[in-house]
Chains A and B, each alone.
Chain A
């Protein structure tokens, strides 16, 4: 991707990083309300909800920064973790939709008046999954025969 269309590669990383850096802000600011969002998915045992609410926003932050780094290995690791997180989020939102739970996804805001999750969230996540896969493949492929050099 990046070899042929470097601008597209850059934009993909920038877009993905912007999404995850924006997503972590409200969660870091208000972990208690984010914990309520996590709890509303009803997927985790009660004892794990707070730990996820404390740590997950920081994983979004570090992976969001990692995919902007010139070091390919860290970029690939960041993109891989983003892909895995998005896969989990998408599965959780799908499950909520299937169960008819009228909760917001808790993705970008922890406010109670956030829009209820719908198919749009799945479409958006599908696009982000594709972007993260592209970023990962580009960084991982370029690692072959190269050490961590600035791109």
Chain B
């Protein structure tokens, strides 16, 4: 009388066993491959994501955008694009239309751009790349000044050129 439910239970148990087998096989192969990878491409099991620039921006309430979002935003004629790197780095190459606003000079230089950047203008900020914090620092400073629509491009100049983005050279006007 109980043969059918028992049979069904046995099937489910076998199914769950097979699922566990696939999970264990994946874990074993994934671990083994990661162990034998060359040092540069081996991923540590625990990464320091809490100090990653995107995490810091998220916690600070600064929205981030990525390469495709930047390409879209650059079509916006109202966009104000700030380069937070040093004047030398800016002169060597920057995103088209970017204005130089190094974090160290922001207090003195923001006045130069006051006619172009209104408090509600969409502002996009970048620095060198994922390892640099100047872009986020600039975004926080501009927020203190009262600018409302700030977005950080964490990939920065490095990612832009790595994906064939057009750059402009020359010092800030």
Contact = CB atoms under 8 A, between A and B. Distances in A.
A35 B49 CA distance: 10
Interface stretch (A1-9, A77-85, A86-94, A125-133): A77-85
A114 B69 CA distance: 11
A33 B50 CA distance: 16
Interface string B33-52: 11000000101111111101
Contacts of A103: 66
B68 A54 contact: no
A55 B19 contact: no
- Name the prevailing secondary structure of the A interface residues: helix
Nearest to A34: B43
Nearest to A77: B18
A102 B65 contact: yes
Interface residues of B, number: 41
A29 to B, nearest CB: 9
Given A102-B68, A140-B15, A49 B49 contact: yes
- Name the prevailing secondary structure of the B interface residues: helix
A42 B11 contact: no
A54 B18 contact: no
A104 to B, nearest CB: 7
B60 to A, nearest CB: 14
Given A77-B21, A81-B22, A102-B69, A31 B41 contact: yes
Given A102-B66, A116-B69, A49 B47 contact: yes
B68 A51 contact: no
B14 to A, nearest CB: 6
Interface of B: 7-8, 11, 14-15, 18-19, 21-23, 25-27, 29-31, 33-34, 41, 43-50, 52, 54-55, 58, 63, 65-69, 155, 159, 162-163
16 contacts: A28-B33, A39-B49, A46-B52, A50-B45, A58-B27, A58-B29, A58-B33, A62-B25, A102-B65, A103-B66, A112-B66, A112-B162, A113-B163, A115-B68, A116-B66, A144-B11
